[in-house]
Amino acid sequence: MPRNVLAILAIILLIPSVVAARTAPFSSSATSAAPTAYNEFTVARLQTEMAAGRLTSVQLTQFYLDRISALDQAGPNVNSVIELNPDALQLAQDADNRRAKGKVIGPLDGIPVLLKDNIDTGDKMQTTAGSLALMGKPALHDSTVAANLRAAGAVILGKTNLSEWANFRSFFSTSGWSGRGGLTHNPYSTDRNACGSSSGSAAAAASNFTAVSLGSETDGSIVCPANVNAVVGIKPTIGIVSRGGVVPISHTQDTVGPHARTVADAVATLNAIVSRTPDSRDPATSGVPLGWQGTGRTRPALPADYSVFLDPNGLKGAKVGVTRQGIDNAPPQVVAAFDNAIAQIRGAGATVVDLDASFTFAPADGEFLILLYDFKIDVQKYFATRVGVPMANKTLADAIAFNDAHAASEMPYFFQEIFQFAQSMDTSGPDPANNPQPAFGGMSYNEALRIDHDAGAKGIDAAMSQFGIDAVVAPTDSPGWTTDLIMSDHFVFASSTLSAAPGYPIIQVPAANVLGMPMGISFLGTAFSEPTLIKLASGFEAVAHARTQPTFTGNITTANTNGTNLQPPAPPKRVPGRPHRL
């Protein structure tokens, strides 16, 4: 969901599997004891190792389990994984058995994958969106993406922690915290934030706790965590990946997408999860996103293999438009990192157009109304798919009441203003989409949709047409900030809303290291432009080589914050005196 929902509100209104705390002090010996043999191995290289008989899927799965045990659940306590799949090693053995018989399903066969804890798996694992309100009986069926992963032979390793309810509960939330899973930490400096809402998915991929992972995004929740954790994040066009069996915010903006350490790995994962034919569980898989609706533009056939668009020379001859999206309000080191990335793009043979000099993106001023309205309806539909959990066949009002009744565990730091706001939306009557919403000055849902349609048509689409560019390039987000559960998140700039409202794709790629913390850039395009974005993103990755492995330090700034070494004053000299009252 929008990590910058406070800014959105200001614009519009002017206004038992709970993870126990692990507080043992961290020793660097824990990091050194963690296995590293397959760190940074790509999916292709892992497949090569397995094909040569030097590695099995069981060994690889155990490798990731051992790293999770040493670094996620102990040591630096990244806390990115909320639950492990008790069947993971058996799934890996099944893959090895297939391989022994000469059958390999595809690039993800035998490859461990972690899923965000809002993606249903019809197995022994919970799907809770981080909330105790969905704890109990596991989902009855796989989500479409989980089923697609199984069909591709992937080993579903476990579930990752997230911002509870995908960061759509409170205006004062802290990214990466959930009532069920606690707080996910940034592995580059564990006092800093992993962003959200797909915090655990990105932190786990960055930390080599999995080969690849899946997150979800409504506005920034794949690309922001990717940005602060030095991984690639692909937020696909709305409708190319089914949302069937995913805890929703909004059918207008939600999508599932991969986190991976390379563009190629992210693309391999995308290949496995896309719906190339309509999915009955998600009407969007047969249509076009909001930005294309009413334009006469139709859904194209999706590529059989997105990996053919990977190109280390993908920037040569390209033309991109740059928008800075508020980065100039950031510290000079951050600004310089973005400027250097643009220089690298230009140096790789691309023409760079300054969009901010003469173009203004149409604002997505309908977004928050749309999300609130959708959530009230969509989450109730999801609750109807669950049994044996507190919210089974319940409503948003019931979720609000549950949080009130369990405030000590669900609301120790922040409350549920967004839930209450969504509940206040008028969805009654025969034509609810045209009901005036008083909190938005009488704007209706349909009016908000028209505004956000224009955010695409008069935003990215207009820029691409006017300047003849292949894509828009922007800073993704600021480097990770110090986590603050009292004062909530601290955002300086972001670019995801340019694509979020109209439903367009983004690929975020690591671009820099700012004082020890990662930072990335985003390639944004119109609907179904993933082939072009993959070409550009892989071209940038080839020249930037910006990803570094995390160090799991507790505080990246400690070297310059310790202060002086105080010397205590010497004790006073004793002066001999006459004995007193012997």
- As annotated, the active-site residues are 116, 197, 221
One DSSP character per residue, 190-252 reads: TTBB--SSSHHHHHHHHTTSSSEEEEEESSSTTHHHHHHTT-EEEEPPTTSB--TTB--S-TT
CA distances from 415 to 33, 107, 407, 411 (A): 40, 43, 8, 5
Q: Which of left, alpha, beta for 216 (phi over 0: left; psi -120 to 50: alpha)?
A: beta
DSSP type of residue 481: P
One DSSP character per residue, 424-439 reads: TS---SS-GGG--BGG
Cis amide prior to 242 (ω within 30 degrees) = no
Q: Are 213 and 222 a contacting pair, CB within 8 Å?
A: no
Tokens of 167: 């960061």
Residue carrying structure tokens 């990105």: 202
Q: Which of left, alpha, beta for 65 (phi over 0: left; psi -120 to 50: alpha)?
A: alpha
Residue carrying structure tokens 């089914």: 242
Q: Are 311 and 470 a contacting pair, CB within 8 Å?
A: no
State how far the Cα of 142 lies from the Cα of 120, in Å rounded to an integer: 5
Q: Are 82 and 161 a contacting pair, CB within 8 Å?
A: yes
From edge to edge, which strands make up the β-sheet containing 506-514? 81-84, 155-160, 112-116, 212-217, 255-260, 232-235, 506-514, 517-524, 471-475, 319-322, 351-354
DSSP type of residue 459: I
Q: Which residues pair with 285 in a beta bridge?
A: none
141: amino acid identity, one letter:
H
Q: Are 208 and 194 a contacting pair, CB within 8 Å?
A: no
One DSSP character per residue, 144-171 reads: HHHHHHHHTT-EEEEEE--SGGGG-S-T
Q: What are residue 60's phi and psi, to 5 degrees?
A: -65, -45
Q: Are 163 and 196 a contacting pair, CB within 8 Å?
A: yes
3-state secondary structure 501-544: CCCCCEEEEEEEEECCEEEEEEEECCCCCHHHHHHHHHHHHHHH
